[in-house]
Chains A and B, each alone.
Chain A
Amino acid sequence: MPPRLRPSGLPPPTNVISEPFSSSPLLPYLLPLHHLYITLPSSSSSPSSSRQFSTSTPTPARVRTRFEKTPGTRNGFLDWLKKFAGRLNVPSPQNNIPVYMQYNKPPLPLLKGGGRPNAVGFVKRPRKMEPNLVDWEQVAKNATMSPFPTNPTYKVHPALSTEFREQIYQRVREGRSVRRVSAEVNCELERVAAVVRLKEIERKWIETNRPLATVLQTRIHAMMPISQWKPGQPHHETITDLRIHPATNNQLFLSVPESMPFNRQDAAKALGILPADIRMPHSELIGVEKMKLQRVPVEEMIAREAQREQDEIAAINAKREAVEKRRNAGKVVETERFRFRLRPAVVGQVGYRYGVPAEDRKRGINKIPTRVD
């Protein structure tokens, strides 16, 4: 055993913390990490080291513990802190989530008569979550665009509320066309059609006393933002969004005279597609806006719209009949499993083509037209 020196005989080391301060429980938090020493709980009751003369066996004044570093971690302190104060929100080097992104679930809002108030009037939350006591409507209102809190980049589109869907269904049942209902409630054509189909299924289920998945609906609505029905101005989404036509993905070079006006119709003609004004989902709304600008009286507007709707239905039916006629043209041979449609063809116009090399990348062949016809 090396000879012991009295602590009083030594010069005060800079690295050692002064006595009153060293007893502070906040010590680990106040110090820079590279000289962290702590007192073990057992040594706190040990006699003070300032005793000059003692005949008893000397107990070490302070057992200094260096934090053991577990392999795979950055330093021993965090490791110790996690063990010592596991309930504190200490970031672990192993899970790579930044602290600000850590998900602390806020408590679910309860219904008015949900919790039982104690003598003071403070409503104590039930320890175990009761689904029936939760105010799911409030939860649905609080829901954000990103249902997964640790994945803020995951965004969802709002869902239609129950009333919104009911309103759509009632309008279609009154005999209005899907297109008109879609324009009225500001909801895409496809979505209106889907709502009507699902509502029909729901009606059948109710008729046959089949239980509805209401619980599933409330829980899903609690996770997502909801478009509520506003009687004056119902709105769910923009309905006139134009889908990208695949023909517009390829670049097209077209030389036109500088003085020639070039509008959407011309662009569509060049691409060989329908103009955007016709292709957009609610092309009839353009006509309505034009009528508004021309100050057409409302009665006439309604009459014109009705006429346009009738014409459209007639055109669709005519087209359908023509397709049907074309499909049934020619002989049909029916075997046990299939029907073979035999159709006449003309040599030269029939057949999948044999490879023709595209020469547009070849030297000397210009892809960009050099003259205007």
Chain B
Amino acid sequence: MVVRLRLARFGARNRPLYNIVVAQARTARNSKPMEVIGTYDPIPKPSHDGDGKPFKDIQLDVTRAKYWLGVGAQPSDPVWRLLAMFGLIEPQWKIARIEAQREDKAVYEKVQKVKIIPDAAAKQASSTTANS
């Protein structure tokens, strides 16, 4: 049986919260998984400084995710998207968009807007080393 990395829905009605789980593909969505490796809160929280884009939180045990990918666990589409943000796999959706860009310039611009801000602490460390 296939082992999948997928989401298990928690929370309440209209208030979803997801566990990122490792489970056998044919088991029920919320059945007890082999492992819980993270959480995903899809409801955007307003940013703390009042303006700017709202936040969504993702928690992930990266080492365990790497391990499960290494042994052949297959991520579902939403989990693929999340893992791609952590840089664990090539972003699927982006490839599709890049292919589409030839026809649709607007979509291409949308893709260009996506940027990854590196770790704040790492940025600080790099700046201090640059200064010294």
Contact = CB atoms under 8 A, between A and B. Distances in A.
Interface of A: 324, 327-347, 350-352, 354
Interface string B94-132: 000000000000000010011111111100000000000
Given A329-B120, A342-B86, A352-B39, 9 more contacts: A324-B48, A331-B116, A331-B117, A334-B116, A337-B54, A342-B85, A344-B62, A350-B38, A352-B19
A334 B115 contact: yes
Nearest to A346: B61
A352 B54 contact: no
A324 B121 CA distance: 12
B56 A340 contact: yes
B89 to A, nearest CB: 14
A260 B69 CA distance: 57
B15 to A, nearest CB: 12
B38 A351 contact: yes
18 contacts: A327-B48, A328-B120, A329-B120, A331-B86, A333-B117, A334-B115, A334-B116, A336-B110, A336-B114, A339-B47, A340-B57, A342-B86, A344-B60, A346-B61, A350-B39, A351-B19, A352-B10, A352-B11
A244 B93 CA distance: 50
Contacts of B66: none
Interface in B24-63: 30, 32, 35-39, 44, 47-48, 52-62
A336 B53 CA distance: 9
A193 to B, nearest CB: 17
Contact of A345 (B32, B60, B119): B60
Nearest to B48: A327
Nearest to A349: B61
A332 B54 CA distance: 12
Contacts of A330: 119-120
Interface residues of B, number: 39
Contacts of B57: 340-341, 343
A341 B119 CA distance: 10
B41 to A, nearest CB: 9
Contact of A335 (B19, B35, B114): B114
Contacts, number: 95
A354 B32 contact: yes
Given A333-B116, A347-B64, A338 B44 contact: yes
A341 B58 contact: yes
B61 A350 contact: yes
Contacts of B10: 352
B97 to A, nearest CB: 12
B39 A342 contact: no
Nearest to B17: A352
A206 to B, nearest CB: 26
Contacts of A324: 48
A331 B88 CA distance: 13
A347 B35 contact: yes
Contact of A341 (B36, B55, B114): B55
A341 B59 CA distance: 8
A67 B55 CA distance: 78
A336 B113 contact: yes
A351 B39 contact: yes
Contacts of B58: 340-343
Given A334-B53, A345-B60, A350-B36, A340 B85 contact: yes
Contacts of A331: 85-86, 116-119
